Amino acid sequence: AEAARLGGGKSFGSKPSYQRSAPATTPSPTSPQVSPGQTTQQRPVTGPTPSPMGRWGGMLGGLLMGGLIGSLLFGGGHAYGGPGLFDMLLIGGGLFLLYRFIRARRMATASTAPAGSMSFDRSPAQGWGQSGFSPSVEPEPAAAAPATLPPGFNADEFLKGAKAIYTRLQTSWDKRDLEDIRQFVSAEVLAEIELQAQADPQPGKTELLLINPSILEAREAEGQTTVSVLYDVMMRENGTEMAKQVRELWHFSRETKKPEDFWRLEGIQQIEQ
């Protein structure tokens, strides 16, 4: 029997490459794969980096000790009666070094702060339309994002929207609500879904037990930004079948110069087992 989920378990879309199955692949969020002919350069193992306070503390301690000895030897009556000129210079030097230390720490903290999000993903909420996705106020850094993502691309917010739109489209497909699907897909994808709806007009029931989206690639070409998302899903189709794993590659696209536009589904590829 034909699969009940959106797309019917087929590969199709606006590009010829979308119309055939994709090779089995998994995202590499932490480090790129190395081919057999390449070697990896290992980082030398070093001891703990000495803290700036330790360096400055040793210098200040030496100056204070030297100042005390100098005051005793050359300060004469000022050694115990009050501060002399050398004491004042020593105190002033110590305050200057303390100021330099605090200023260096502040500059180091400021240099490591993350830069603001670039225009690549300025409006994630508008980008997913009325899919039910609402961006968080302070999104966490995309620690698991692959290295292929452009600078400024907020992968965490995008994946939240991708998860919401997957649920929305599957629910609309179960209802055969093509008008709702229309606003989130390209003309080529809509045409294929309409054919599938004609072949199977009866509403279905798809239970989504687990949805795990991950970004495989984000690229810009010919004025379009395309993001390929691997969905690893546990679902139950037709309401009576056993739960099974479904892995599909969905391609979303929008005009690069129009970040306010919706992301649209351009193609679905099945993953070769």
The secondary structure of 94-140 as a DSSP string is: HHHHHHHHHHHHHHHHHHTSPPPP-GGGS-HHHHTTTSS----SSPP
Across all residues in the chain, what is the average pLDDT?
73
User: pLDDT tens-digit profile of 38-56?
Assistant: 444 444 444 444 444 444 4
pLDDT higher at 172 or 104? 172
Q: Percent of the chain at pLDDT above 90?
A: 38
**Contact at 8 Å (CB) between 125 and 158?**
no
pLDDT higher at 36 or 132? 132
Nearest residue to 183 (alpha-carbon basis) of 203, 194, 169: 169
How many residues in total does the chain contain?
273
User: pLDDT tens-digit profile of 46-104?
Assistant: 444 444 444 445 554 555 555 555 555 555 544 445 556 666 767 777 787 787 778 77
Q: Given this model, what pLDDT does residue 65 score?
A: 54
The verdict on pTM exceeding 0.85 is no
